[in-house]
Amino acid sequence: MKVTMAQLNPVVGDVEGNMAQVVDTLRKCSGDAPDLVIFPELFLMGYPPRDLLERRWFVEKSQRAIQELRGISQTYPETGILLGTAIPTGEGTGKGLYNSALLIYRGQVLFRQNKSLLPSYDVFDESRYFDPAPKIEVFPFKNEVLGISICEDAWNDPEFWPRRTYPLDPIAILAKKGATLLVNISASPFHVGKEEIRHRLLGNHARKHALPVVFVNQIGANDELIFDGRSLFVNSRGDAVLAFPPFNEHLQTIETTSGEALEQYTPQERVESVHQALVLGIRDYARKCSFSKVTLGLSGGIDSSLTCCLARAALGGENVLGVSMPSPYSSQGSVEDSRKLAQNLGVQFRVIPISDIYATYLASLKEHFKRKESDVTEENIQARIRGNLLMALSNKFGYLVLSSGNKSEVAVGYCTLYGDMSGGLSVLSDVPKTMVYELARYVNRAGEVIPKQIIEKPPSAELKPDQRDQDTLPPYEVLDPILRLYVDDGRSAKEIIDHGFEPEVVTWVIRAVDRNEYKRRQAAPGLKVTSKAFGMGRRMPIAAKYNS
């Protein structure tokens, strides 16, 4: 069978636009005369549609699109169309919807396979909206017997996980029922290392059942989630025959009898994949939210410098405004470093001093703060002035404000609510500080873009004289591994201490993470690049008392 794999970028909610992509894809690949064109999971609606699925008009719009597509399919009488959408169950109980894969051919919906395994962990909440498939069937089409599954259906291989989430293995059922070709349509989000996990998982299915596997994944970014694509065709020996490029739309036709493996399947380099993911995340968030320009504060530090580089790569220098807002405690070097960065990138640059505004604040509060020593309050006033200035520019000129706090800072609350946390998108909120340095070196791999002095100088918020991050925080080389164990892996204090960390440091970090939950709840959406990000995939209580 000749199969066209369509790795595309849908827009959530835009049924008409996603439908137009389907039609355009059919036209583009018609010269290859494919037997089957395969689109990703829930492609007509975009993934994840979330509570749009609870709007009857939205589901009905998708149903009308399916009827339209049935008519269009008759223009391509030799080609089947396999794509994902939500379908009403027709039952009087349950959620009332299936997450479905439809096979459309010559004006008819020949076959429908509903999703069996509905994830409800981390960023997923599918059991909120869908009912599980009542049955799993194969379907003969052309020269193959199709075993169709949807994303999570392929992720419960008992030989792959030490602990299975579900009692059911849909892939094994499809193989037992006589499938000759396994097809998985997916909206599988990116995180560091996910690509390699997918490749091993799909290869394991192929080897175990001696069946080739077609895996079609979407690309693009929708809110916090980034989708890397990296669709695969794996032969019956478990070898990758075809691997699509990551983070880009791609369309390619392959014969399912093709069995010659790639010379070597090489996952994308870790730092390169995070860089591409963040660039795509900024570009799609801006585009899909109807922003063409962004602005951000340039402090002369590594976080804002990296964020500016990513924004420039995503949108072009002419669409990025960096703003230096020096206070009485800012070094002249920070302003000049920011200016040099802006020149290197070709982005717009402005300097708006805040010393006079800050003095006015202090004068206004002097009577109310009398007999009180200066403390973090005065530091935070400076950060909040900067946040207000950026939001004023956003209001006046229509910029999307990017905040640049990293995961290490956000985790322990080393950030100012309504100050440097202000913005429409938090670009680095899932990037630990140690990874920030890796990304900065990656940006400079072909020459100095981020000035050397920005990378080499000790991190500082510059909100009081001679301030350094390490005056308040453990060294990032210590902090980040503790955060990974506590936040990402869910380890207890004792387990973390058993890894060799000082008990006092571990206790401080855990308390800082827990007591700053209220800040993170009010933060801008952040782009997810690790296995556990703050935001939609981490639902911790605020008003609570517990010890780990």
Please indicate, yes or no, whether residues 239 and 122 belong to a single structural domain of this protein: yes
DSSP track, 382-429: HHHHHHHHHHHHHHHH-PEEEE---HHHHHHT-S-TTTTT-SSEETTT
Domain end among 234, 263, 292 = 263
- Whether residue 457 lies inside any domain: the answer is yes
Q: What is the pLDDT of residue 505?
A: 96
Strands of the sheet with 2-7, listed across from one edge:
108-114, 97-105, 80-88, 36-38, 2-7, 250-255
Angle between helix 433-443 and helix 302-315 axes, rounded to 10 deg: 50
- Residues 234-239 have a mean pLDDT of 93
Do 146 and 238 belong together in one domain?
yes
What does the angle CA 202 – CA 204 – CA 210 come to, to the nearest 5 degrees? Answer: 100
Is the domain of 53 the same as that of 168?
Answer: yes
The C-alpha angle with vertex 446 and arms to 444 and 448, in degrees rounded to 5, equals 45
Number of structural domains in the chain: 2
Give yes or no: residues 351 and 252 share one domain.
no
- Residue 547 lies inside a defined structural domain of this protein: no
Q: What is the pLDDT of residues 424-467, one digit of tens each?
A: 999 999 999 999 999 999 999 999 999 999 999 877 666 666 65
Quote the CA–CA distance of 253 and 536 in Å, as a whole number: 36
For residue 60, pLDDT beyond 70: yes
Active site residue ranges? 41, 115, 151
Task: For residue 269, tell me if it sits in a domain.
Answer: no
DSSP 478-524: HHHHHHIIIIIS---HHHHHTTT--HHHHHHHHHHHHHTHHHHHTSP
- Would you say residue 542 lies in a domain? no
**Same domain for 234 and 294?**
no
> Tens digit of pLDDT for each residue in 334-344?
899 999 999 99
Q: What are 62-76's pLDDT values in tens digits?
A: 999 999 999 999 999
The residue whose two tokens read 């080897």 is: 207
- On whether residue 538 sits in a domain, the answer given is no
393 with 364, same domain: the answer is yes
Nearest in space to 34 (alpha carbons), one of 4, 69, 6: 4
Looking at 239, 263, 287, the residue that finishes a domain is 263
Q: What value does the mean pLDDT take over residues 21-26?
A: 98
Domain containing 301 — which CATH number? Answer: 3.40.50.620
C-alpha torsion sign, points 362, 368, 374, 377: negative
- Boundaries of domain holding 366: 275-473+516-521
- The CATH number assigned to the domain holding 123 equals 3.60.110.10
Say what the pLDDT of residue 465 is.
Answer: 65
236 assigned to some structural domain: yes
Measuring CA to CA, how many Å separate 492 from each of 27, 45, 486, 497, 511? 55, 40, 7, 9, 12
Whether residue 250 sits in one domain with residue 162: yes
Residues 247 and 348 both lie in one domain: no
Report the DSSP beta bridge partners of residue 469. Answer: none
pTM of the model: 0.95
Q: Write down the number of H helices and E strands in the chain.
A: 16, 19
